[in-house]
């Protein structure tokens, strides 16, 4: 693979940063140590501007090229937060924080973008500005939304924005991307049911919330099966069902929670509307009351067609394995907020036959570091060619 020699030269340095971040994982917006490390490295690299506290704990670095005649700025984003998972594999860089680990590779994403910042600050072989974005709270906290809402795109005059994620199950060094919707909108819901509690031996005198909840769980699957066009994609998953504390008491209340995933605004609206009808009417059929709190979180991640094609062409400069029609997935990703604010593209970088994301045995594959860093470098140099 045509990896940039200078980047191969500091592969070991980037690996050390990655493993240090892995050993000290932090959750959501509480990425203070990681953010401080990022800011320290950016200062060491001599970037032109460093801004901290963006989106609470995000860090942004600005690197100006040898020329700035183009007046154009390209944003490159990495996420910094870990997951509330106990790491179970003994390794030298194993998490030192009980119950928290980097099980999604954000340690690798952060380290690779730091490597790109080092290279770009050294060479500055481009005409314009590279903006490196280190984001907190991708794992459910909406850190991307926070950074966008604070005006990051306008403050740093970002014209285009790009993201990258490691991908277990895809061959090492292969890039995968598609234009249009690539990852699903990720929503959450809470269903509260109120019936009439009482003695479990006298069910005729109660309105059983566990029975109502069970029927609601089943009926919700009819929304995907019978209301959504079979050509479209949608998921409704009830993931918790909490009711009662005693074996001989039928509980007065019950609560169901879960997630809904869609790939289009129309189907998203349909799911919310039909779920509310199913929840309320199913409960009413048993004499109970139920409410649906449908919370819209991450929007659909949709790649701009032109920028996806561009990202794929840059990937071909680094790898001879590029899939331009990777399958859509129902997982969510809050880089979608940045893509809603500016044109750009999100790409996967294969890390081989490793344990999958969010698994307690997962670890980022350090062998892909120079590939990812070279992609970032080539993207800036290609989008902002020096005069």
| 199 annotated ligand-binding residue | no
pTM here is 0.94
Tens of pLDDT, residue by residue over 134-161, are 999 999 899 999 999 999 999 999 999 9
Tens of pLDDT, residue by residue over 314-366, are 999 999 999 999 999 999 999 999 999 999 999 999 999 999 999 999 999 99
3-state secondary structure of 94: coil
Tens of pLDDT, residue by residue over 190-234, are 999 999 999 999 999 999 999 999 999 999 999 999 999 999 999
Spatial separation of the C-alpha atoms in residues 336 and 210, rounded to whole Å: 37
| 11 annotated ligand-binding residue | no
H or E element at residue 258? strand 253-262
In the predicted model, what is the mean pLDDT of residues 278-285? 98
| CA-based nearest residue to 139, from 62, 49, 3, 30 | 30
Spatial separation of the C-alpha atoms in residues 19 and 95, rounded to whole Å: 9
DSSP H helices in 191-295: 209-226, 265-285
CA angle, 125 as apex, 119 and 129 as ends, to 5°? 85
Domains of the chain: 5-183+300-383 (3.40.630.10), 185-298 (3.30.70.360)
Residue 82, judged by CB atoms within 10 A of its CB (0-12, 13-18, 19+), counts as: buried
Residue 71 pLDDT: 95
Residue 27 pLDDT: 98
DSSP at 204: G
Categorize the per-residue pLDDT at 2 as very low, low, confident or very high, splitting at 50, 70 and 90.
Answer: confident
| 165 annotated ligand-binding residue | yes
Inform me whether the pLDDT recorded for 3 exceeds 90: no
| 44 annotated ligand-binding residue | no
Spatial separation of the C-alpha atoms in residues 298 and 140, rounded to whole Å: 9
CA 305 to chain centre: 20
Question: Which residues touch 223 (CB under 8 Å, ≥6 apart)?
Answer: 234, 236, 270, 271, 274, 275, 278
| 106 annotated ligand-binding residue | yes
Tens of pLDDT, residue by residue over 40-71, are 999 999 999 999 999 999 999 999 999 999 99
Residue 1 pLDDT: 57
CB neighbours (10 Å) of residue 239?
10
């Amino acid at each position: 693979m045509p990896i940039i020699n200078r980047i191969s030269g500091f592969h070991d340095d980037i690996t050390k940063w990655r493993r240090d971040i892995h050993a000290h994982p932090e959750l959501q917006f509480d990425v203070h140590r990681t953010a401080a490390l990022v800011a320290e490295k950016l200062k060491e690299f001599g970037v032109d501007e460093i801004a901290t506290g963006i989106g609470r704990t995000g860090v942004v670095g600005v690197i100006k090229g040898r020329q700035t005649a183009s007046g154009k700025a390209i944003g490159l984003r990495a996420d910094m937060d870990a997951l509330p998972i106990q790491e179970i594999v003994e390794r030298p860089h194993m998490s030192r924080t009980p119950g928290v680990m980097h099980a999604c590779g954000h340690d690798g994403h952060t380290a690779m973008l730091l490597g790109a910042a080092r290279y770009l600050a050294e060479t500055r072989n481009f005409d314009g500005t590279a903006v490196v974005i280190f984001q907190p709270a991708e794992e459910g906290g909406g850190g991307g939304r926070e950074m966008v809402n604070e005006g990051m795109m306008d403050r740093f005059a970002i014209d285009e924005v790009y993201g990258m994620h490691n991908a277990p199950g895809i061959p090492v060094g292969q890039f995968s991307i598609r234009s249009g919707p690539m990852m699903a909108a990720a929503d959450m819901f809470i269903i509260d049911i109120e019936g009439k509690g009482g003695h479990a031996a006298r069910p005729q005198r109660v309105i059983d919330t566990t029975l109502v909840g069970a029927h609601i769980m089943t009926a919700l699957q009819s929304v995907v099966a019978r209301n959504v066009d079979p050509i479209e994609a949608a998921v409704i998953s009830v993931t918790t069902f909490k009711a009662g504390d005693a074996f001989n008491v039928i509980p007065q209340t019950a609560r169901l929670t879960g997630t809904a995933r869609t790939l289009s605004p129309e189907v998203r609206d349909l799911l919310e509307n039909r779920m509310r009808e199913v929840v309320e009417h199913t409960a009413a059929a048993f004499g109970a009351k139920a409410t649906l709190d449908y919370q819209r979180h991450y929007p659909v991640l949709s790649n701009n067609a032109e920028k996806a094609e561009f990202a794929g062409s840059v990937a071909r400069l680094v790898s001879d394995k590029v899939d331009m029609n990777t399958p859509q997935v129902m997982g969510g990703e809050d880089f979608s907020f940045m893509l809603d604010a500016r044109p750009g593209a999100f790409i996967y970088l294969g890390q081989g036959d490793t344990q999958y994301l969010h698994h307690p045995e997962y670890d980022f594959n350090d062998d892909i570091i120079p590939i990812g860093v070279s992609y970032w470098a080539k993207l800036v140099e290609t989008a902002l060619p020096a005069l």
